[in-house]
Structure 1
Amino acid sequence: MGLLTVVSALSLLGAAHAEFNIVRHVAPAPRAKEAAALPPAEFSVPFTAKTPRRSSKKGALAALRGKPTKKIPGKKAPGAGGSTVAVDGSDFDEEYLTNVTIGGQHFSLIIDTGSSDTWVAQKGFNCFDLDGNPVSADTCAFGTPGLDTATSKTFQPFPNVSFNITYGDGEFLSGPVGFDTVSIGGLSVSHQEIGVPTLTAWEGDGINTGLIGLAFPGLTSVYNTTDPTKASGANQLPYNPLFLSAVSQKKVKNPFFSVALDRGTFDQQENDPFDPNLGFLSFGGIAPVPVTNTAVTVPVQGYSATTGLPSNAPGSEFFFYTVDVEAYTFPGSNHVITANNNTILDTGTTLNFVPTEVAAAYSAQFKPPATLDPDFGLYIVDCDAKVPAFNVVIGGKTFTVDARDQIIPAGTDDNGNIICITGTQDGGPDVDGDIFILGDVFLHNVVSTYNPVAGEVTLTQRAKY
Structure 2
Amino acid sequence: MATLRLSSLVAFLALCSTTLPTSFGSGPPAPFIVPVQRVVNSSTSGHNLVKAGQARFEVFNRIQTRTKGFAASAAPSTSLTDQIVTFTINSVVDGKNFSLIVDTGSSNTWVGANPANRLTPPVSLDLLEVTYGSGAVLGQETDKTVNVTPDVAVESQSIGEAITSVGFDGVDGIMGFGPVGLTEGTLLLDPIATIPTVMDNLFSQGTIPSETLGVFFAPTTEDNPINGELSFGGVDTSKATGPMSFFQSTLPFWAISQSATFGDTTIMNLTTCVVDTGTTLVMLPDDTFTAYQDLTGGTLDATTGLLSISPAQLDSLQTLSFIGTDVNGETQHFDLTPNAQLFPRAFNTEIGGSADDIFLIVASSGSTAVSEVGCIMGQTFLQRTYSAFVTPSGDPSGAGTVGFATTPFTDATTN
- Report the TM-score when normalising by structure 1: 0.67
**1:358 equivalenced with 2:329 (yes/no):** no
Retained in 2: the 8 A contact 1:333–1:362? Answer: no
Q: Please state how far the C-alpha of 1:426 moved relative to its aligned partner.
A: 1.8
Retained in 2: the 8 A contact 1:58–1:71? Answer: no
Q: Please state how far the C-alpha of 1:65 moved relative to its aligned partner.
A: 6.2
Which residue number corresponds to residue 242 of structure 1? 198
Which residue number corresponds to residue 401 of structure 2? 456
Which residue number corresponds to residue 43 of structure 1? 32
- CA displacement 1:311-349 (0-9 Å, x = unmatched): xxxxxxx22100011x32322524x4x223311000111
CA distance in 2, matches of 1:421, 1:380: 5
- CA displacement 1:265-320 (0-9 Å, x = unmatched): 3xx4xxxxx6422111111110354323352122111xxxxxxxxxxxxxxxx221
CA distance in 2, matches of 1:236, 1:56: 34
Please list every run of 5 or more consecutive structure 1 residues that lacks an aligned counterpart in the other structure.
Answer: 1-32, 74-89, 122-139, 151-155, 226-233, 269-273, 302-317
Which residue number corresponds to residue 28 of structure 2? none
CA distance in 1, matches of 2:52, 2:179: 19
CA distance in 2, matches of 1:415, 1:432: 32
- CA displacement 1:144-168 (0-9 Å, x = unmatched): 7223236xxxxx6343x20112343
**1:424 equivalenced with 2:362 (yes/no):** yes
CA, structure 1 residues 72+445, in 2 after alignment: closer, same or farther (shift >3 Å)?
same
CA, structure 1 residues 120+383, in 2 after alignment: closer, same or farther (shift >3 Å)?
farther
CA distance in 2, matches of 1:38, 1:297: 11
Q: One-letter code of the match for 1:173?
A: V
Q: Please state how far the C-alpha of 1:110 moved relative to its aligned partner.
A: 0.6
Farther-moved stretch of structure 1 (392-401 vs 238-247): 392-401
Which residue number corresponds to residue 213 of structure 1? 176
CA distance in 1, matches of 2:353, 2:383: 32
Which residue number corresponds to residue 253 of structure 2? 320
**1:282 equivalenced with 2:231 (yes/no):** yes
CA distance in 2, matches of 1:199, 1:236: 23
**1:255 equivalenced with 2:255 (yes/no):** no
Retained in 1: the 8 A contact 2:128–2:188? Answer: no
**1:341 equivalenced with 2:332 (yes/no):** no
CA distance in 2, matches of 1:457, 1:166: 24
CA distance in 1, matches of 2:200, 2:40: 26
Q: Please state how far the C-alpha of 1:389 moved relative to its aligned partner.
A: 1.4
- CA displacement 1:385-436 (0-9 Å, x = unmatched): 2332122223211212243331114644989555443112222334335531
Aligned counterparts, 1:375-414, within 5 A: 378-382=306-310, 385-386=314-315, 387-394=317-324, 395=326, 396-408=331-343, 409=345, 411-412=348-349
Please list every run of 5 or more consecutive structure 2 residues that lacks an aligned counterpart in the other structure.
Answer: 1-6, 21-30, 59-75, 394-399
CA, structure 1 residues 51+181, in 2 after alignment: closer, same or farther (shift >3 Å)?
farther
For 1:98, which of 89, 100, 125 is the aligned residue? 89
The alignment-based identity, stated in percent, is: 23
CA distance in 2, matches of 1:65, 1:261: 22
Aligned counterparts, 1:173-212, within 5 A: 173-185=137-149, 186-200=151-165, 202-206=166-170, 208-212=171-175
CA, structure 1 residues 44+189, in 2 after alignment: closer, same or farther (shift >3 Å)?
same
Retained in 1: the 8 A contact 2:136–2:167? Answer: no
**1:148 equivalenced with 2:119 (yes/no):** yes
Q: Please state how far the C-alpha of 1:64 moved relative to its aligned partner.
A: 5.8
Retained in 1: the 8 A contact 2:57–2:375? Answer: no
CA, structure 1 residues 115+64, in 2 after alignment: closer, same or farther (shift >3 Å)?
closer
Farther-moved stretch of structure 1 (423-432 vs 343-352): 423-432
CA, structure 1 residues 194+247, in 2 after alignment: closer, same or farther (shift >3 Å)?
same
CA distance in 2, matches of 1:376, 1:248: 45
Structure richer in helix, relative to its length: 2
Which residue number corresponds to residue 438 of structure 1? 377
Q: One-letter code of the match for 1:256?
A: T
Q: Please state how far the C-alpha of 1:204 moved relative to its aligned partner.
A: 3.2
CA, structure 1 residues 440+168, in 2 after alignment: closer, same or farther (shift >3 Å)?
closer
Instruction: Give the number of equivalent residue pairs.
Output: 350
CA, structure 1 residues 179+69, in 2 after alignment: closer, same or farther (shift >3 Å)?
closer
Q: One-letter code of the match for 1:187?
A: V
Retained in 2: the 8 A contact 1:43–1:282? Answer: yes
Retained in 2: the 8 A contact 1:260–1:289? Answer: no
Q: One-letter code of the match for 1:246?
A: L
CA, structure 1 residues 435+43, in 2 after alignment: closer, same or farther (shift >3 Å)?
same
Q: Please state how far the C-alpha of 1:246 moved relative to its aligned partner.
A: 0.8
Q: Please state how far the C-alpha of 1:373 moved relative to its aligned partner.
A: 4.3
Q: One-letter code of the match for 1:149?
A: T
Report the 3-state secondary structure (helix = DSSP H, G, I; strand = E; otherwise coil) of the residue aligned with 2:15: coil
CA, structure 1 residues 426+91, in 2 after alignment: closer, same or farther (shift >3 Å)?
closer
Retained in 1: the 8 A contact 2:107–2:177? Answer: yes
- CA displacement 1:230-274 (0-9 Å, x = unmatched): xxxx72421111111111111101221110111023xx4xxxxx6
Report the 3-state secondary structure (helix = DSSP H, G, I; strand = E; otherwise coil) of the residue aligned with 2:272: strand
Retained in 2: the 8 A contact 1:101–1:182? Answer: yes
Which residue number corresponds to residue 63 of structure 2? none
CA distance in 2, matches of 1:293, 1:213: 28
